[in-house]
């Protein structure tokens, strides 16, 4: 199992400058290779004698010319440009397989990062050794035991992080689920989650909404600064720090909620929401994005697997809200503004969100009984999420931290 542990770094000024140079070198190599790939691919289509571009050929081509044309690349680790081109090759592989769009050029200051192979760095407690630089302090030690595969150093606002990927089978850092039964979780905008247990709804942090005025003020301040000036750099840094704070508040709340759910319940049922379609509603788009439904599902996926639990994702067309959880009668329509309704068949009064959560719980329980030919539960399954009548693709690498 591949697990990526993201750890904050504590570099000095010299080390932070080196990271910025390495990230810039990786960005340049990626953009250079992307431009060359497009040029060579067009030549290959028009001339049968021209070889088809590959990431291995582009790496050899860059190695042959970098000492003469790009001597500043030698100031940082050779992994920075080489791994960037390898990542471009993976991006094109996903593009030709129909899993992603055509790769785009990287921009300075947007997701600045560079990667290292496992033979180019060492970890000793709470520090990591970077090629051509030396030891850099980490804010905590690596949590997982196993074979270290790679490391990616990235910048978020004014802070640097290292994401270390480990191949491990040791999941003893998380105890097994207490198995308090099954639970259905209905996600919403007014409340982040409503549980089928009858507990009070769990409010979301709504960090973006709470800090929206400050965000708008800093955005206006940035737009008024002259491009290329030092004041614009300072204003941009302030805005980036605020965005990072909003992201951290949201992730912290989601981690606490998903950890509590996976610790208590063995089987969890949620709804496969069409978030992209929901975001098209301009009245709710900001609130939906502030809740981060996809991140909630992603965290549930890998945490249930670590604890030996099961996550069942209902189809997006599953009528969880307008189906009576008492008798099973289904309404023809139910407006989003209706929060309370009474079943015409049995007379049961329902809270919309609680009723949906109970139906998701029933769906999850019924899905645990495997039909002939379907996958069963447990860590030996090929997929992290229990299939629910539809094919689901999951990321093989999970991020913890």
Catalytic residue, candidates 112, 271, 301, 305 = 271
Please, how many CA atoms are within 13 Å of residue 6, restricted to the half-sphere of its CB?
A: 12
Find, among 138, 242, 190, 227, the residue nearest to 353 by Cα.
190
Backbone angles phi, psi at 81, to 5 degrees: -75, -35
Report how far apart, in Å, the C-alpha atoms of 208 and of each of 222, 242, 255, 291, 295 are: 18, 10, 17, 9, 15
As a whole number of angstroms, the distance between CA 362 and CA 240 comes to 43
Structure tokens at 143: 């949590």
Asked if residue 345 lies in contact with residue 329, where contact means CB atoms within 8 angstroms, the answer is yes
Contact 344, 329 (CB under 8 A): yes
Residue 353 annotated in active site: yes
In this structure, the chain runs to a length of: 401
Paired tokens of 294: 């996809």
The catalytically annotated residue of 36, 170, 353, 393 is 353
Q: Which residues neighbour 372 within 8 Å (Cβ) at sequence distance 6 or greater?
A: none
CA–CA dist 206, 387 (Å, integer): 31
d(CA 258, CA 307): 12
For the question of residue 186 being annotated catalytic, the response is: yes
350: helix, strand or coil:
strand
List, by residue number, the catalytic residues.
186, 271, 353
């Amino acid at each position: 199992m591949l697990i990526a542990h993201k750890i904050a770094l504590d570099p000095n000024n010299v080390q932070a400058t080196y990271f910025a140079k390495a990230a810039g070198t990786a960005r340049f190599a990626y953009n250079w290779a992307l431009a060359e790939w497009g040029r060579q691919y067009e030549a290959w289509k028009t001339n049968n004698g021209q070889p088809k571009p590959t990431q291995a050929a582009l790496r050899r081509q860059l190695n042959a010319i970098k000492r003469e044309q790009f001597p500043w690349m030698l100031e940082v680790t050779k992994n920075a440009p080489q791994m960037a081109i390898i990542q471009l090759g993976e991006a094109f592989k996903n593009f030709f397989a129909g899993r992603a769009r055509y790769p785009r050029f990287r921009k300075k200051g947007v997701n600045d990062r560079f990667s290292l192979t496992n033979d180019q760095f060492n970890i000793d407690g709470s520090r990591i050794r970077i090629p051509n630089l030396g030891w850099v302090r980490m804010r905590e030690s690596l949590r997982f035991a196993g074979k270290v595969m790679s490391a990616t150093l990235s910048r978020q606002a004014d802070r640097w992080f290292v994401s270390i990927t480990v191949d491990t089978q040791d999941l003893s850092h998380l105890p097994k689920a207490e198995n308090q039964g099954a639970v259905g979780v209905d996600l919403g905008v007014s409340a982040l989650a409503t549980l089928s247990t009858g507990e009070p709804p769990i409010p979301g942090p709504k960090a973006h909404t709470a800090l929206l005025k400050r965000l708008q003020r800093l955005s206006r301040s940035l737009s008024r600064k002259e491009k290329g000036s030092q004041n614009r750099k300072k204003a941009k840094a302030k805005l980036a720090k605020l965005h990072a704070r909003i992201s951290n508040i949201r992730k912290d709340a989601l981690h606490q909620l998903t950890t509590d759910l996976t610790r208590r319940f063995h089987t969890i049922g949620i709804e496969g929401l069409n978030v992209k379609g929901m975001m098209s509603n301009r009245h709710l788009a900001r609130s939906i994005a502030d809740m981060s439904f996809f991140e909630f599902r992603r965290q549930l996926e890998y945490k249930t697997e670590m604890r030996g639990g099961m996550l069942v994702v209902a189809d997006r067309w599953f009528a969880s809200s307008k189906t009576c959880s008492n008798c099973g009668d289904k309404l023809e329509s139910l407006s989003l503004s209706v929060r309370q309704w009474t079943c015409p068949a049995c007379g049961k009064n329902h809270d919309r969100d609680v009723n949906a959560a109970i139906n998701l719980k029933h769906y999850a329980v019924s899905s645990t009984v495997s039909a002939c030919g379907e996958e069963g539960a447990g860590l030996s399954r090929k997929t992290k999420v229990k299939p629910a009548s539809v094919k689901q693709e999951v990321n093989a690498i999970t991020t913890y931290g």
